[in-house]
Structure 1
Amino acid sequence: MSSRLSRLHLRFLGLWGMVGGLLGTVLGVAAVLPVQPGQVWTITATTAERERFTTTLRLNPAAPTGMPLAFQADRGVLLLDAAHGTLIALDLLDARAGGLGLACVVDGVLDAPELNGVLASGTLEQLPDQLKRVLAVVAVARTPTDRAAAVQELRLGTCTLTRSS
């Protein structure tokens, strides 16, 4: 009985997935998220002090949790809020050992192969305040010129997220 029930459950889930995909196509809604488990994302960052970093987040194969969606990674987490068009890549591995943490925040169209954003960097103690300032800049400064001025004035950094698989 449970084997039959499991097969029915799987068929229902398969049909539900097809219906969701069809509805997405008909309604013009993207059926596939710009971030998927198992992907590899590279953060290329420049801090306010002009220090350059390149780091790679390898997303776990497990499905994301929570809202916004949290994709766990080897060095941190990737947070996706598709409804608001925001992606935050957090590399906290070095910060947990007393080093520098990086938070790259991008917004807008998230399915481009390369995404430019605003960088928060600092120790685990500094990062929350830095991230608040970055989120404020992303929310208010809508043009590239305004964003660049705000980044410079608030002594934040810049970053690029690149999806490599």
Structure 2
Amino acid sequence: MVKPIQKILFGSPGTGKSYQVQKIAQKDLGIEWDEESRSLKNTIKTVFHPEYTYSDFMGKLLPLTEGNNVIYKFYPGHFLQALGMAYREIIEGSDRNVLLVIDELNRGNAAAIFGPVFQLLDRDENWWSTYDVNISELEMVELLKSMGCTPTISKGIVQIEKKNGG
């Protein structure tokens, strides 16, 4: 049985962090590579950036017009897509893992993006959150794993420091 995995890979740009995510997913989590799509199966990927929000990550209601009426439709964010995928695996009686990959983790405001979900990631040996968190009874499931990648140095930061005399 694979324990919950939440990993963050650090490294300079171009050092193979994304490649390592693929290898860990295949070797440690048993996630298959799909040759046709050239991507990992059962995987949701996103990239954080300064404009990325909690709504992008969790989901949001957006208005739509149908005829003369305005309706609201919920669009699940990357986290809820991955969690839903993990729940589907459980419902189908499968033990296939689902992986949420967050690239450029340092580019967004992680505390604002994750919100209270951050505390759900800290799980005990039975995969329950070690904190008393109530997000509409949202529960993490053991099949959902997460990995993030973040560069240790950013060209943009170096350029800003040079402009400021650093």
Give the TM-score of the pair, scaled to structure 2. Answer: 0.28
In the superposition, the TM-score normalised over structure 1's length comes to: 0.29
More strand by share: 1
Q: Larger relative CO (CA 8 A, sep 6+): 1 or 2?
A: 2
